[in-house]
Chains A and B, each alone.
Chain A
Amino acid sequence: MMLRVEGLTKTFDKFVAVNDVGFVIPEGRLTAIIGPNGAGKTTLVNLLTGRLTPDKGRIYFYEEDITDLSASKRVQRGIGRSFQLVNIFPRLTVRENVTIPVLSRTGGSRDLIRHLSGFKDVRNHVDHILYEVGLETSAELLAGQLSHGDQHLLEIALALATEPTLLILDEPTAGMNPKERQRLLPQLEKLVKSGSVNLMLIEHDMDVVFALADRIIVLEQGSLLVEGTPVEIQNNPKVQEIYLGGDLEDSRSHRQAQQNPSAGEKLVEVENIDTFYGMSQALHSVSMEVNRGEAVALLGRNGVGKTTTLRSITGLTPPKRGTIRLRGEIISGLPPHEIAALGVGFVPEGSRIFPNLSTMQNLQMPTQVIRKKDRRWTIEKVEKVFPPLQELRERKGRFLSGGERKMLAIGRALMADAEILLLDEPSEGLSPLMVRFLLDALIRIREEGITILLADQNLKFAYQLADRAYILDKGAVAYYGKLEDLRGKEEIVKKYLAV
């Protein structure tokens, strides 16, 4: 066996990220690990590569127990990895970037006196790798100046340069634009074909997964859900369940939805915005509208730009081009606190409540900085929507459970007298029961006339709350329309959302 994992478990203060995961990977396979956000994929990688140490369980690489080896030792043993977020040496040239791992491979990195240029063999090897991934032309550029896609290629080149026998790629295509993907895929295929290295792939882009993988491991909420060939996985109802939220038959929320027709005037208008993180472009001319009183879903897999869209609206990551209007007034370019004061409430992924403040303080905070006369929301009213909070008034944020944090985060946004709530993955990592509760609460909030823009992978959740949907793919709007229309369009669902 190349890799054998037994009962691997990792918890971050009470939250179980990876829960008793075990599997074996024989030689010569390309294994993909998939699963929704917060399923623990990256944590698993960190455990395998030695960035984290497990609480329980062992890892065997070619039957050697490597559980207690340092990261660098594991690399020397032949486990290479790339990172989800580009993790290169920005202010070194591309060649220098790749030279570092090659040197550590050849041991040359311990040479203190000879001039770098003297290492001809190293240089040739580096050039070869650059050629392999198709970066040979940009060898002398600073890595930081590369396009986002090329940075991902470099990321992979860095991993390759350690000459791994097992190469773990953590979402190599996340946030790439179509062109960049078109360049990356062949590279990966070439790698697989060459057979020189075993690949393990963490990926959301199902095109990639099914194009390459011959074995798939599905994680959900930290535990191994199923394991099998692509075909098995595709036809596995459980998998469909977690990706699409299972059966779409639940009329209750639809009645709710019908009751407030989306007749209200435009509240938020986004007009072809381009948003960047540093050098890499996350949004490509995205446009959308949200009318007062309606609930709109922003759908799509990970890294397609849902969060970025929300951040652009809040002003945390202002768009470089394009405009955003609130009630017809341009808000793009205003500082976040002013946008908040205008009635835009943001509930981020993972809630991000203030850990060292009490529930009460978390809720009161907006009211002290946003001064208004007639507020629609009071603490009492928030507690009516989220009764559990009543018991927790004095408890510090850091001691709240995931669900409680989520309620608090929504409450906090409401207390800022938000007219529109921007919810980022509200159902992520919550128990089904909690999800149901949250859903009801949000419906109540809608009835109060609050507009909702919801970014979620969980289609079911969206179906029950929202009227209209925008589907993002690769940083651009791929589809929009009424949600129930989606029911007919299985191919769209499959293409952009499902497995």
Chain B
Amino acid sequence: MGERLLYLAVVGLSEGMALWLVAAGLSLTFGVLRVVNFAHGSLYMLGAYLAFHFIRLFGGNYWIGFALGPIALAVVGYVMERFFFRRIYRLDDSFQLLLTFAFVLIFDDLVKFIWGPVHQSVPTPPILSGAIMVVGRPFPAFGLFIIVVGTAAGFALWYLIERTGWGALVQATATDREMASVVGVNVPRLYTGVFMFGAWLAGLGGVLAVPMRSLAPGMGESIIIEAFVVVVIGGLGSLRGAFIGAVLLGMFHAFGVTYLPVFELALAYVTMAIVLIIRPWGMFGVRE
């Protein structure tokens, strides 16, 4: 029994980590730019497709896609922030939301237009294609890889934000934009940077999804809603919250499917609703 629970925990962790990478970018862009980016899921999709494209391009070498995909996404992020979002920061949230929604629609069809409507898929990189025994049961090596990358990304982000100068700039700007600018921070450029970084993270999430999932236009929607739930549970704009939230949701899913299958569909939303009712600002968010 204990072993079974442990195994499920590992499964939940891997699911959570895959979600975390997407949620991280979403949370970051919201925390700093105060934009709820619905198109973040589409960035994830784009990341997956671009990775797939590069992999095909370079004779099926996954690692090239792994490296290039997120970078390409950062470029996409640059364009989105610099030429679109920058024009609407002063506007009401609902308009920002609408703009991100417009991107969702456009990206979905763009992908269909470029790569066609059929499912795409690439094999797992040979080194990670096998399974590893976890408490006596096979578990995908790639799943563990995701756990590793996710955790690494978690620590890297924590370090970047809490320990580096750039992180300090980001925090400062997030808390007091005016003061940041009068001590010399170029706020517009920082915004672009943060958005690119968020896009890069979404791309990373996409790249990691490629070997385990099938690619199809619109694959971003299901992710964005879950990532969104995660961010809300954790507290809008709180990276730590997003991390915990993602792991929590992964666990809930793993155990829920086994012990409470009826509620799988509602699970995420029930959690979200409960958190919002009890503690609207989320587990790690700050009260307004």
Residues of A within 8 A of B (CB): 314-316, 335-337, 339-341, 345-346, 348, 352-357, 361, 364-366, 368-370, 412-413, 416
Contacts and interface: CB of A to CB of B under 8 A. Distances in A.
B191 to A, nearest CB: 13
Contacts of A368: 165-166, 168-169
A337 B176 contact: no
B258 interface: no
B172 interface: yes
B187 A365 contact: no
A340 B175 contact: no
Main SS of the interface on chain B? helix
B171 interface: yes
Interface string B149-192: 00000000000000001101101100110111111111100000
Contact of A316 (B166, B175, B178, B185): B178
Given A337-B184, A340-B184, A416-B184, A369 B169 contact: yes
A254 B172 CA distance: 38
A354 B176 CA distance: 7
Interface residues of B, number: 18
Given A361-B168, A365-B169, A368-B165, A354 B175 contact: yes
Given A316-B181, A337-B186, A369-B186, 4 more contacts: A315-B181, A345-B182, A346-B182, A416-B184
B181 A356 contact: no
18 contacts: A316-B178, A335-B181, A335-B186, A339-B182, A352-B176, A353-B179, A354-B180, A355-B175, A357-B172, A364-B168, A365-B183, A368-B165, A368-B168, A369-B183, A369-B184, A369-B186, A370-B184, A412-B183
Q: Which 6 A-B pairs have the closest CB atoms?
A: A336-B181, A340-B184, A370-B184, A369-B184, A368-B165, A354-B172
Most chain B beta-carbon neighbours within 10 Å: one of A316, A345, A355, A368 = A368
Contacts of B187: 337
Contacts of B165: 364-365, 368
Contacts of B172: 354, 357, 365
Given A352-B176, A354-B175, A354-B176, A369 B168 contact: no
A322 B244 CA distance: 53
Contacts of B180: 354, 365
A416 B183 contact: yes
Most chain A beta-carbon neighbours within 10 Å: one of B165, B168, B169, B183 = B183
A355 B175 CA distance: 8
A139 B82 CA distance: 43
Most chain B beta-carbon neighbours within 10 Å: one of A340, A412, A413, A416 = A340
Contacts of A346: 182
B168 A365 contact: yes
A361 B169 CA distance: 9
A345 B166 CA distance: 21
Nearest to B186: A337
A355 B187 CA distance: 18
Most chain A beta-carbon neighbours within 10 Å: one of B165, B169, B181, B184 = B184
A365 B172 CA distance: 9
Nearest to A368: B165
A360 to B, nearest CB: 9
Given A352-B176, A354-B175, A355-B175, A316 B168 contact: no
A352 B171 contact: no
A416 B182 CA distance: 9
B171 A316 contact: no
A346 B187 CA distance: 17
A350 to B, nearest CB: 11
Given A352-B176, A354-B175, A355-B175, A336 B182 contact: yes
B181 A366 contact: no
A356 B31 CA distance: 14
A80 B185 CA distance: 44
B101 to A, nearest CB: 25
Contacts of A336: 178, 181-182
A413 B168 contact: no
Contacts of A315: 181-182
A336 B181 CA distance: 6
Contacts of B185: 337, 365, 369
B239 to A, nearest CB: 12
Most chain A beta-carbon neighbours within 10 Å: one of B165, B166, B169, B181 = B181
A413 B183 contact: yes
Given A356-B171, A357-B168, A364-B168, A316 B183 contact: no
Contacts of A316: 178, 181-182
A356 B179 contact: no
B23 to A, nearest CB: 21
B41 to A, nearest CB: 29
B176 A340 contact: no
B167 to A, nearest CB: 9
A354 B171 contact: yes
Contacts of A339: 182
Most chain B beta-carbon neighbours within 10 Å: one of A357, A364, A365, A368 = A365
A345 B184 CA distance: 9
A170 to B, nearest CB: 23
Given A361-B168, A368-B169, A341 B175 contact: no
Given A357-B171, A357-B172, A365-B172, A341 B178 contact: no
B164 to A, nearest CB: 10
Nearest to B187: A337
Nearest to B190: A369
Given A354-B171, A357-B168, A361-B168, A366 B179 contact: no
Nearest to A353: B179
Interface string B179-216: 11111111100000000000000000000000000000
Contacts of B183: 340, 365-366, 369, 412-413, 416
A462 to B, nearest CB: 23
Contact of A354 (B166, B179, B186): B179
A91 B183 CA distance: 35
A314 B182 CA distance: 7
A195 to B, nearest CB: 43
A355 B182 CA distance: 16
Contacts of A416: 183-184
A233 to B, nearest CB: 37
Contact of A348 (B168, B171, B179): B179
Nearest to A355: B175
A370 to B, nearest CB: 4
Contacts of B171: 354, 356-357
Nearest to B188: A335
A80 B168 CA distance: 45
A303 B180 CA distance: 25
B42 to A, nearest CB: 31
A366 B184 contact: yes
Contacts of A364: 165, 168
Contacts of B176: 352, 354
Contacts of A353: 179
